[in-house]
Structure 1
């Protein structure tokens, strides 16, 4: 299977993801990263404060591992595909954070001396360094992209993009990352899953099908 065939078979996923990239990319070209995070931060609400600390776990490494282990029980090959994609994308994300972009400050430290009265959720632990890219967003897109590729019901591919996007948005809402961090994380996670899927298909034959 080549890339073009994978895209055709998962066109709902890829069309939805492309629209997401175009919208977010357009916003990034139009506004500064400071303006974008101010907009998200100013759009806070009590329901958002209650929900997003939990929704952000859609991209948590522990959650992805649990999903992968459960899949190992149900479908061993599918579980390994999820876990391998998560591991590779996670290692690349860590390398970028710690080696390539170690100076990238997270919003809390970035706006430390600003007069802007930003909103943060009470008692929420917020990191200060190694902002780029967003690890949670990387993991979320690696997981849900792979699930979309393996899922029999291709028409539901948009739900995988939506769930991953919620994880990415939560990182900005929680003041953990800038929009550009999540944008890059989504690309890293998705591209990694595409690569893992295609390499598996080339070496071992057709990947498993879920559902």
Structure 2
């Protein structure tokens, strides 16, 4: 099973890299990838924390706590798994190394983006806002593969980790209200 996932990961990254690359998409996905950065996530959280209104403060608190647990988990898993990034393993890969640390699995950018998206979805009744955040999170995930810094399984794992902590924190906070 692991071998099949690894083969799919390599084939997907090479296909995207060799067949779908354009200058316009390069710039688009460079911009999109920053939506999953810690700096962006912390900026959103701090901005909303100081915004007046209980809903914004609830979101900021839930997102901050979720992002904290997500970041720790991503760091620990990366330390133990030590998966090399696609640009280190694949020949003929034209990558754009934006926002990378040493290891690939799971994707921290994707985890952060899905943490924010899931937190929004859990705390708002506005489905349009939730769809927008999930669309942005998906673009972050796609950007990481497009740029050649992650495999599809890295971003899938990041999405699961980020979403999971948002759900856990949401229910923890409901229990403390």
Matched pairs, number: 169
Please list every run of 5 or more consecutive structure 1 residues that lacks an aligned counterpart in the other structure: 1-27, 205-211
Q: 2:86 aligns with which of 107, 112, 124?
A: 107
TM-score (norm 2): 0.88
Q: 1:62 aligns with which of 18, 29, 39?
A: 39
User: Are 1:201 and 2:174 counterparts?
Assistant: yes
- Structure 1 runs of 4+ aligned residues shifted over 6 Å read none
Please list every run of 5 or more consecutive structure 2 residues that lacks an aligned counterpart in the other structure: none
User: Structure 1 residues 64, 128: CA separation in 2 closer, same or farther (over 3 Å shift)?
Assistant: closer
Q: Hey, what's the Cα distance between the residues in 2 that align with 1:166 and 1:151?
A: 21
Q: Hey, what's the Cα distance between the residues in 2 that align with 1:108 and 1:78?
A: 36
Q: Hey, what's the Cα distance between the residues in 1 that align with 2:153 and 2:168?
A: 23
Q: Hey, what's the Cα distance between the residues in 2 that align with 1:194 and 1:128?
A: 27
Root-mean-square deviation (CA, aligned residues, Å) is 2.0
Q: 2:124 aligns with which of 125, 132, 151?
A: 151
Q: 1:138 aligns with which of 102, 105, 111?
A: 111
User: Are 1:169 and 2:145 counterparts?
Assistant: no
Q: Hey, what's the Cα distance between the residues in 1 that align with 2:162 and 2:76?
A: 14
SS of the residue corresponding to residue 166 of structure 2 reads helix
The Cα offsets for residues 107-131 of structure 1, whole Å up to 9 and x where unpaired, read as 11112xx3xx22234xx55747311
